[in-house]
Structures are given as C-alpha cells and as structure tokens.
Amino acid sequence: MSKEALPPDEYDVLASVCRESFWEFVQEFWGEIIDEKLVPNWHMEYLCRELEKVADRVFNRQPKLYDLLINIPPATTKSTIVSVMFPIWCWTRCLWVQIICGCFAHPLSLDLSVKGRTILQSEKFKACFPEIVLRSDTNTATKYQNIKGGWRYATSTGGAVTGQHGHINIIDDPVDPRGANSEADLKAANDWLTNVMPKRKVNQANTVTIMIMQRLSQGDPSALWLGWAKQGLPIKHICIPAILTDDVRPRNLRRFYKKGLLDPKRLSREVLAEQELIGTRAYAGQYLQSPMPPGGGMFKTGRIRIESISYSNAKGWVFCRYWDKAATHGGGAYTVGVLMGKDPDKAYWVLDVVRGQWDAGERERIIKQTAVMDGKVVVIRVEQEPGSGGKESAQATIRNLAGYRVWADVVGSSSGNKEHRADPFSAQVNGENVKMKEADWNAEYLKELSFFPDPGYKYKDQVDASSGAFAYLSRPRRYVGAF
C-alpha cells in the first residue's frame, strides 16, 4: 500500500489504533510480509494481549512480574506474531527498546529478522510511523538499529551474544524438531538458556524473557523452565495444545476451543490425524504439548495387563532375572534387576523389579540376597559393558553368585543399541503379549517404558534389564540328543 492510499490524518488514526493494540497492528501489517489473507483465530489475539502485558512494564521501566513460556503447535503463526511483528510493534511505543531474538538455526533467525525489517521499510509503515528511522550504519539482517537507540539483534541457539543486552529477549523454538531425539542438541540448548541468555539483559529485574516453542521432549527447554518455576522463579506458563486436554494453561482458555479443537481451520481433525500417523511421539509433543504419547511411545504401556498372580509353584514356566548394574551411591543411574517369566502359553510376565542407587558393595549384597529369594530355578544374566572394567564388574558378580545359573551378557553402550535391544520386547508389549504382576513398583516401571527412548528422560535401566531378560526367554531353544 502506498503512502497516498490514505489521507494523512487517516494514517495518524491508524497509527494510534495500532500503538494501542498489538493485535490491530498484526492485522494491519500482515499483508506487508505474507501474501495469504489472514485467517484469525482466538489464540492470536490472546497471545498479542499477553505480549502487550509484559511489554508495557518494560516501556514503563517497571520490574517484570514474570517471564513468559508459551507452548503451542506449529502452523499457528507463532513466529510471525512473536519474532517478526512484536519487536517492530514495540518500537511504535518506545523507540529505545533493545530486543534480542533467537531460534535454533541462524539462517532461520536471519529470515525472521529480514521480515521484520520489510515491515519497517514498507510505505504503509513509514506513513504511519515516520518517526521510526533506521540508522544507515547499523542495518543488517543480524542487527538493525533506529536513530533513537532501539535495536533488534538476531542470534541462534549456542550463538554468540557478546556485548548485546536486551530489554526484551525472545527465544523462538530453541531446538530443531528434527534434533529432538539428540541428547547433545537438548543439552546444548539448555546450557545456552542457563549460562548465556540470563546474562544478556539490560536490567536483571526489568528485562523480560519470552520463550515460545512446541514441546519436543521431557528434557527440552520448556521442561527446564517449568523446573525453574517449581523452584520459585516467576514464570507464566501458557500451554495451548491442538486439541482440548487437561494440559491447557491457563485453565480458562478451555472455553475458547471449538468442538475440542484449538483452530478448526488450520488444525482440523483430518490434519491432526495425518500428523499422528506420520509420528506418534512427534505428534504428542508438537501438537498435544505433552511429549509422552498417550499409552506410551515405543512401548504402548496401556496394553500391559496387570494381574495378581502367584508363580512360586508355576509349572512349565521359564524364569530369568536380568541385572543392569550401576555403581553410584544415591545418584545417577540405577542398578536394576528385572525378573521375567514365560508361561506355558508363551506369554511374558514382568514379575519383580529390584531397583536402587547403591555403591558396589551394597549392590553385590542385594544381588546375592535376591538370588537366594528367587531360588535356583531362576536363570541370572548380568549385563557386561564393553571394556576391561565392564568385564571385571560382571565377573565379580558371577563369583558372588557361585552355585547359581549365572552368565554375563556382553552388550554395546550406544543409545541406538539400547533401542535396538528393546525393539523385540516392545513388539510383544504392543502385541498385548506381556503381563505384569501387581506390585508397588508398577508405576515407576510403566513410567520409564512410556518415556523410552526420549533422550530427555534420563532413566532407561528398567528398559535395559527388561530387554535383556526378554532376549534370554525368547531365544531359540537348543535340544541335545536324538528324537
């Protein structure tokens, strides 16, 4: 739209309306960067109002009340609203505001920055806000600055922000959804959010940080922030899943869902069903904002039948107790011994779980005590990690269990190998051929299976031990002699 499209006084009215309402600004300037017509939905106006609230305190140089964490699905215009338009709107209110904007990839961060500058350089914007003029000596995709001191700086997860201090810091999808299964990527993002961004503030009391993202993992940056909130840090959590669930936050947003959907036009039931077919775990995190899929991810734990059973005199059964050992007292990984049985109908039963964080001496005592209680009908397998240390540890346990049927099981150590080993057991679980004895350890066991192999959930010991026990029980039988 050219400057002559409206009389000057009407530009003044339009500018006044847009300054007072970020949502009006979004609607007016949408067409400057996006060809498709804006299709409004309630969540857009709601997010604009929430962003206004935190920005108003910055404009008035007041201490922030909280930082803002927003979990919302993809394809909801979140980046256009938060990373592209919001920084520009802030300048219509206060020209001195300095804003840092970051996302998982530098090229994407630059693209969002350029779109914001496109709005600034449009004829319509210049007509409405002639006082906002960019400096010619600081006008790049990475950083552009106005003549009154305000600037927008583009960075990425793990990127340098040296010398930059923002009044408002925006973090938009700090982890690439394609890297959600990478423990290294999650750690890098969380380290950056913990050790870098908190120091990039003009004023620790006043600078507000806004993070908007789709959930990806139980250990993603949202989980980091929610952990901080539990420790008392002021963080307002807005969670808007694609369908109406108990995870909607604040709770009063539930009334805006139409027939149980956040946005029936963009995210219809047909669209969501297609996304779920593409990937259950990704769908649960990105669209439901709940990284653990309903009923489990690799393991559909809802298909495990829990029963009260006595197996002490079971005839025709085969038993294996598998030990996945750790040697950290009071922390780190767990030592786990899973007792599994196969009944005459070839159904598999998880019968007992011994689990604890013990030092080496206490661990060996408990392993021996468990063997005595199980009896010699139970075969014992001990995981042997690669290397001489793993071999010595396994041999020590075998010596400790002299008189019992015990063997070492040499395995690899990579996370991919853990998933490969767990796959046959998960197939039996998902095929409803695994049952479990009712006991107080059931909840923690099912929880670990549900999260596996999410890299954000650090405990995998019960899965490893179960995979080992199942591998023994399902191995082909060897028969000796003639028939």
According to the model, what pLDDT value does residue 12 have? 93
- Residue 429 CB contacts under 8 Å (≥ 6 apart), including other chains: 296, 299, 300, 301, 303, 304, 449
Number of domains the chain is built from: 2
3-state secondary structure of 240: coil
Domain boundary among 286, 312, 339: 286
C-beta neighbour count of 267 within 10 angstroms: 21
Asked whether residue 479 is domain-assigned, the answer is no
Asked whether residue 295 is domain-assigned, the answer is no
Same domain, yes or no: 219 and 333: no
Same domain, yes or no: 199 and 229: yes
Same domain, yes or no: 269 and 307: no
Q: Output the tens digit of pLDDT for each of the chain's 483 residues.
A: 444 467 778 999 999 999 999 999 999 999 999 999 999 999 999 999 999 999 999 999 999 999 999 999 999 999 999 999 999 999 999 999 999 999 999 999 999 999 999 999 999 999 999 999 999 999 999 999 999 999 999 999 999 898 999 999 999 999 998 766 677 888 999 999 999 999 999 999 999 999 999 998 888 999 999 999 999 999 999 999 999 999 999 999 999 999 999 999 999 999 999 988 777 778 888 999 988 665 556 888 889 999 998 877 778 999 999 999 986 666 668 999 999 999 999 999 999 999 999 999 999 999 999 999 999 999 999 999 888 788 899 999 999 999 999 999 988 654 447 888 898 999 899 899 999 999 999 999 998 998 888 777 778 999 999 999 999 999 876 544 433
- Residue 219 CB contacts under 8 Å (≥ 6 apart), including other chains: 183, 186, 190, 454, 455, 456, 457, 458
The span from the CA of 370 to the CA of 364, in Å, is: 10
Residue pair 115/33 in contact (Cβ under 8 Å)? The answer is: yes
Residue pair 242/285 in contact (Cβ under 8 Å)? The answer is: no
C-beta neighbour count of 310 within 10 angstroms: 7
3-state secondary structure of 165: coil
Q: How is residue 235 written in tokens?
A: 């963080």
Asked whether residue 349 is domain-assigned, the answer is yes
Domain that holds residue 227: 3-286
Provide the phi-psi class of 77: left if phi over 0, else alpha when psi is between -120 and 50, else beta.
left
Q: Which residue has the tokens 């071999």?
A: 391
The span from the CA of 10 to the CA of 5, in Å, is: 10
Same domain, yes or no: 312 and 280: no
Asked whether residue 379 is domain-assigned, the answer is yes
Residue pair 73/287 in contact (Cβ under 8 Å)? The answer is: yes
CA-based nearest residue to 249, from 271, 226, 269: 226
Same domain, yes or no: 365 and 393: yes
Same domain, yes or no: 273 and 362: no
Same domain, yes or no: 263 and 376: no
Same domain, yes or no: 130 and 54: yes
The span from the CA of 51 to the CA of 169, in Å, is: 12
CA-based nearest residue to 462, from 288, 329, 323, 305: 323
Which class for 455: exposed (0-12), middle (13-18), buried (19 or more C-beta within 10 A)? buried
Residue pair 320/371 in contact (Cβ under 8 Å)? The answer is: no
C-beta neighbour count of 193 within 10 angstroms: 20
Asked whether residue 296 is domain-assigned, the answer is no
Domain boundary among 286, 315, 334: 286
Asked whether residue 234 is domain-assigned, the answer is yes
According to the model, what pLDDT value does residue 480 have? 43
The span from the CA of 473 to the CA of 72, in Å, is: 44
Asked whether residue 294 is domain-assigned, the answer is no
Domain boundary among 253, 286, 319: 286
Note the pTM of the prediction, 2 decimals.
Answer: 0.71
Asked whether residue 32 is domain-assigned, the answer is yes
According to the model, what pLDDT value does residue 401 have? 96
According to the model, what pLDDT value does residue 219 have? 87
CA-based nearest residue to 295, from 283, 286, 307: 283
DSSP character string of 331-356: SSSPEEEEEEEE-TTS-EEEEEEEEE
According to the model, what pLDDT value does residue 5 have? 65
DSSP character string of 47-116: HHHHHHHHHHHHHTTPPPS-EEEEE--SSSSHHIIIIIIHHHHHHHH-TT-EEEEEES-HHHHHHHHHHH
C-beta neighbour count of 364 within 10 angstroms: 20
Check which CATH number belongs to the domain holding 115 and give it. Answer: 3.40.50.300
Same domain, yes or no: 351 and 235: no
According to the model, what pLDDT value does residue 276 have? 83
Same domain, yes or no: 254 and 317: no
Same domain, yes or no: 275 and 386: no
Same domain, yes or no: 248 and 309: no
Phi and psi of 464, rounded to 5°? -60, -45
